[in-house]
């Protein structure tokens, strides 16, 4: 792979033209979900087996292999997704790989190995799965075709187009767009991103810093890791757009120490973006400068708090300080600083590309867009799910999650990770959103969602 230096938006378009579509239509692409979670389930072995099968069948000219980040459906890892047909093979075992590859090369579907739902029904195509039916994968979807170590797969799907558009719009217009979209911080606070950006843009002092919080500390929450690992360029693009909006020239991604794959993929992505002149001086010939450094976390949960995080980047102990002076005025190194969460940045390219009006159509009155939740605990289908704000807890637990396993009964769902509250069965019809959850005595938090059945003691949970 050779990355060409891009000196204008036309260069980017020409590059995309040379790359072609995300999948070659005349070849079969075997996609293996290879995030940290996939690797734990054995995806590295599957990748090797697919490679071997293709070679033994003499089909090197007919097939591609692509290792992507997390596809979200953890319960069925390791998986093979055959593209462009869209056929999904869950829980792949070494012995089955050759048969799957053979059938796929013939353009057939190996019926007995496709996904089988809890009710026994079989679904061959990924898009038909009940798990995905109620989801809206506008943010996490591209992770299913993007190879995080190959910038071309991101560019092929329209990557960095939003950046071109944002440069043409100008910084203030980007902030106005984010404001009209109603984008709220996905890290848990739910603060309006545009308001934060505006105060940093208006603040005096140079340079200005743009920080990305990837210190995802909540046990059971891993959407930020999945995004960083699976689609780092999406986060980078969101950061460049936000940096352009607030006038920042230096960015930091503060990554949790326990996320080595995220650090590796992000570092590789930053390097490729620099080589393509998408980071650094004079990005795409626009005259804007911005670069990103990766800072590895200090290890403590509290380092995810904004002032503690900045102290930690400066090399000081990660302790929060009272915010009489806002970080927008005096943050990192005493300069105006803006901090957003990974998922917040990941929303930015979509908003710029599709416009605030389309974004604001999704969700509820006060919570717009989608939210990625990690659905775990006593539920049949565990995994990362992305649903429009306003989806009810019942839809999440029963339709997407497939209900509580082993014939037990649902007791409670804890939203927002370990700092979140537990909601009982009679609150299941509540639509999720920042304010609705707060009124019910819990929080959106980072988006962890832990389902409990009648074998969980609530006093013990509270403890």
Partner 1 sequence: MEESCGKCTPCREGVRHLYDILTDISGGRGREGDVELLESMSRAIMDGSICGLGQTAPVPLLSTIRYFRDEFDAHIRDKKCPAGVCKELVTYWIVEEKCPGCSLCLRVCPTDSIIGSKKVAHKILTENCIHCGACEDVCKFGAVVHG
In the complex, what is the shortest distance from the CB of residue 297 to partner 1, in angstroms, rounded to a whole number? 13
Rg (CA), the chain: 22
Nearer to partner 1, 38 or 416 (CB): 416
Q: How far apart are CA 396 and CA 402, in angstroms?
A: 9
Which of 21/219 has CB closer to partner 1?
Answer: 219
Residue 247's region, left for phi above 0, alpha for psi from -120 to 50, else beta, is: left
Smallest distance from partner 1 to CB 121, Å? 32
Establish whether the linkage from the previous residue to 36 is cis, with ω within 30° of 0.
no
Whichever of 35 and 318 has its CB closer to partner 1, that residue is 318
Q: Which is nearer to partner 1, 294 or 302 (CB)?
A: 302
- The residues facing 122 across adjacent strands are 116
Minimum distance of partner 1 from residue 421's CB (angstroms): 3
User: What is the closest distance, in whole angstroms, from the C-beta atom of residue 403 to partner 1 in the complex?
Assistant: 19
Q: Which residues bind partner 1 (CB under 8 A)?
A: 188-189, 217, 300-302, 305, 307-308, 318-323, 412, 414, 416, 418-424, 427, 440-443, 445, 454-463
Nearest distance, CB of residue 311 and partner 1, angstroms: 10
For the bound state, the minimum distance from the C-beta of residue 139 to partner 1, rounded and expressed in Å, comes to: 23
Which of 353, 425 has the CB closer to partner 1? 425
Minimum CB–partner distance for residue 215 and partner 1 (Å): 12
CB of 273 to partner 1, least distance (A): 32
């Amino acid at each position: 792979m050779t990355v060409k230096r891009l000196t204008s938006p036309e260069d980017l378009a020409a590059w995309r033209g040379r790359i072609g579509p995300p999948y070659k239509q005349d070849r079969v692409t075997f996609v293996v979900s290879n995030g940290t979670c996939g690797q734990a389930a054995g995806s590295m072995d599957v990748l090797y087996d697919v490679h071997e099968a293709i070679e033994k069948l003499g089909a090197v000219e007919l097939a591609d292999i692509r290792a992507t980040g997390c596809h979200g459906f953890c319960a069925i890892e390791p998986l093979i997704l055959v593209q462009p047909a869209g056929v999904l093979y869950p829980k792949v075992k070494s012995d089955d790989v050759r048969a799957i590859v053979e059938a796929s090369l013939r353009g057939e579907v190996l019926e007995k190995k496709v996904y089988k739902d809890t009710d026994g029904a079989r679904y061959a195509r990924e898009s038909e799965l009940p798990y995905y039916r109620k989801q809206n994968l506008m943010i996490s979807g591209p992770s299913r075709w993007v190879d995080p170590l190959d910038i071309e797969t991101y560019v092929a799907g329209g990557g960095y187009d939003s950046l071109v558009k944002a440069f043409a719009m100008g910084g203030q217009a980007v902030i106005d767009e984010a404001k009209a979209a109603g984008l709220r911080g996905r890290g848990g606070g739910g603060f309006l991103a545009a308001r934060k950006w505006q105060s940093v843009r208006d603040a005096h002092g140079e340079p200005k810093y743009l920080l990305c919080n990837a210190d995802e500390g909540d046990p059971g929450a891993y959407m930020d890791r999945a995004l960083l690992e699976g689609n780092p360029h999406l986060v980078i693009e969101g950061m460049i757009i936000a940096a352009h909006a607030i006038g920042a020239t230096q960015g930091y991604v503060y990554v949790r120490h326990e996320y080595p794959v995220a650090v590796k993929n992000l570092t590789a992505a930053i390097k490729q973006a620099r080589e393509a002149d998408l980071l650094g001086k004079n990005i795409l010939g626009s005259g804007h400068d911005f670069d990103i450094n990766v800072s590895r976390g200090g290890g403590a949960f509290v380092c995810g708090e904004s002032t503690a995080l900045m102290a930690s980047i400066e090399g000081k102990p990660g302790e929060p300080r009272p915010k009489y002076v806002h970080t927008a005025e005096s943050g990192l190194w005493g300069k105006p600083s803006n901090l957003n969460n990974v998922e917040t940045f990941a929303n930015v390219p979509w908003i710029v590309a599709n416009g605030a009006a389309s974004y604001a159509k999704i969700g509820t009155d006060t919570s717009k867009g989608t939210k990625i939740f990690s659905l775990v605990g006593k539920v049949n289908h565990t995994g990362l799910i992305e649903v429009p704000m306003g989806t009810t807890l019942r839809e999440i637990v029963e339709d997407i999650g497939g209900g509580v396993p082993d014939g037990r009964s649902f007791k409670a769902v804890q939203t927002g990770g370990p700092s979140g509250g537990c909601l009982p069965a009679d609150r299941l019809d509540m639509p999720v959103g920042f304010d609705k959850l707060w009124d019910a005595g819990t929080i959106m938090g980072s988006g962890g969602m832990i389902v409990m059945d009648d074998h969980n003691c609530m006093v013990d949970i509270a403890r």
